[in-house]
Amino acid sequence: MEGGINAWKGLMAEGVPKSGMAYFSPATRPEELMALAWYLEEGSQKFYSEVAQMVEDREGKDLFQGLAAEEERHKASLLQLYREFSGATSDQGFPGSVISPGREGDVMEGGMSVRDVLKWAKRKELIDILELSLSLETHSYDLHLKMGRQVKDQRSEEVFQVLAKAEKEHLKRLSSFLEKRV
Amino acid sequence: MDILNYFKPISTWSAEKVRGFLEEKNLRDYNLVDVRTLKEYEQGHLPGAQLIPVGEVADRLSELDPNKPTIVY
C-alpha cells in the first residue's frame, strides 16, 4: 500500500523516491547477474557512506558506516566470482564491460538514483532513513536469493547465498536499531 | 543494455484502493501485513492486520497463505 498507514489516515506524506524491482529473465547470463549485483552493492555503499556523514546520532553513524564497509566487501566478492567464472586474470573492465553503467553509475537498489535519494534523505529524520534502508535491504536480500536460484554452477550459487545471508543480517540490524529509535 | 534496463516498476495500491478492497472482502480472503515495529503497531494499525516486522518477514513467510493476495504496509 502506497504511503503506508499515514496515507490510510488521510495524512499527506512525502513518499520515498520511486523505486522499481530488479528484474532479469531466465536468459540473463551469470556474468550479467554478477555485474548487476555489483552495481547495486556500489550504490548501497555510496548511500550508506553519505548517510553516515549526514546523521548526527552516533550509533546511527556507526551502523551506516559498518554497512558501507560490508557493501564494499560484497563488491570484492562479486569481482572475485567474476574472475573465477570467466577465467580472467584481470578485471577486464568489470562490471562496465558486462553491463553499461547508465547514469554514470548513479544507481542503487530499486533502480533509484543515489543522488536523488541522498537529496531526499537530507530533509528527513533518522527514522525515515532507517525505513528506506530497510526497504533497500529487503530488495537486496530478495535479489540475491533469486540470483542464487538462477545460476547453474555451485560456486556462483554459494556466493549469492552468502550475500543473501549478509543482506538478511543487515535487515535484522537495521530493524533492531529502528525498534530502539521509534 | 545498460543497468536501467534491469528494473521494472513495483505496482502499489493507493490507500483508497486498499480501503475499498478490505471493505469488499472478508478477512479470510487475504493476508494483511503490518511490517512496522511492535511499538508502531500498538499505536495503531489497520483492522485485522498481522504484525510481521520487516526484519522477520523472511523467517515468517510460512505464516502467510500464498494462495491469497497479500497487502503490505
Confidence label for A18 from pLDDT (cuts 50, 70 and 90): low
Report the alpha-carbon distance of residue A162 to residue A168 in Å, rounded.
Answer: 10
Residues 6 or more apart whose Cβ sits within 8 Å of residue A89: A83
For all residues of chain B together, what is the average pLDDT?
Answer: 88
At residue B17, the pLDDT reads 93
Considering only residues A142 and A13, tell me which one the structure prediction assigns the higher pLDDT: A142
Considering only residues A126 and A19, tell me which one the structure prediction assigns the higher pLDDT: A126
Task: Nearest chain B residue to A169 by CA: give it.
Answer: B55
User: Distance (Å) from the C-alpha of residue A14 to the closest C-alpha of chain B?
Assistant: 14
**CB A179 to CB B39 under 8 A?**
yes
Considering only residues A49 and B4, tell me which one the structure prediction assigns the higher pLDDT: A49
Q: Which of B28, B47, B11 is nearest to A1 (CA)?
A: B11
Q: Which of A99, A110, A138 sits opposite B54 (nearest CB)?
A: A138
A69 touches chain B (CB under 8 A): no
User: Distance (Å) from the C-alpha of residue B66 to the closest C-alpha of chain A?
Assistant: 16
At residue A67, the pLDDT reads 97
Q: Which of B8, B37, B54 sits opposite A20 (nearest CB)?
A: B8
Q: Which domains are assigned to chain A?
A: 28-181 (1.20.1260.10)
Residue that has been written with the C-alpha cell 535487515 in this structure: A171
Task: Tell me if B46 is assigned to some domain.
Answer: yes
At residue A174, the pLDDT reads 94
Whether the predicted pLDDT of A60 surpasses 80: yes
All 3 cell numbers of residue A2?
502506497
Whether the predicted pLDDT of A105 surpasses 90: no
- Chain B residues touching A7 at Cβ < 8 A: 14-15
Task: Tell me if B56 is assigned to some domain.
Answer: yes
- Chain A residues touching B73 at Cβ < 8 A: 1, 4-5, 8
User: Distance (Å) from the C-alpha of residue A38 to the closest C-alpha of chain B?
Assistant: 11
Task: Tell me if B9 is assigned to some domain.
Answer: no
Whether the predicted pLDDT of B45 surpasses 60: yes
Domain with residue B56: its CATH number is 3.40.250.10
For residue A49, the SS3 value is helix
Considering only residues A9 and A76, tell me which one the structure prediction assigns the higher pLDDT: A76
Give the model confidence (pLDDT) of A129-178 as tens digits: 998 999 888 888 888 988 998 899 999 999 999 999 999 999 999 999 99
Report the alpha-carbon distance of residue B49 to residue A75 in Å, rounded.
Answer: 38
Counting other chains too, the contacts that A159-168 makes at CB distance below 8 Å and 24 or more residues apart are: A159/A77, A159/A78, A159/A81, A160/A33, A160/A37, A162/A77, A163/A37, A163/A74, A163/A77, A163/A78, A166/A70, A166/A74, A167/A137, A167/A140, A167/A141, A168/A141, A168/B58
Q: Which of A1, A18, A171 sits opposite B15 (nearest CB)?
A: A1
Confidence label for A39 from pLDDT (cuts 50, 70 and 90): very high
Report the alpha-carbon distance of residue B8 to residue A104 in Å, rounded.
Answer: 19
Range 109-148 of A in CB contact (< 8 A) with B: 110-111, 134-135, 138, 141
At residue A92, the pLDDT reads 82
At residue A15, the pLDDT reads 55
Task: Tell me if B67 is assigned to some domain.
Answer: yes
- Among A52-56, A106-110, B26-30, top mean pLDDT goes to A52-56
Considering only residues A60 and B8, tell me which one the structure prediction assigns the higher pLDDT: A60
The reply to whether the predicted model has a pTM over 0.95 is no
Give the model confidence (pLDDT) of B48-62 as tens digits: 899 999 888 889 999
Q: Which of B10, B18, B44 sits opposite A21 (nearest CB)?
A: B10
Boundaries of domain holding B46: 27-73
Task: Tell me if B5 is assigned to some domain.
Answer: no
If one counts the domains in chain B, the total is 1
All 3 cell numbers of residue A80?
572475485
Residue A111's Cβ-count burial label (10 Å; 0-12, 13-18, 19+) is buried
What's the one-letter identity of residue A86? S
ipTM of the shown complex: 0.77
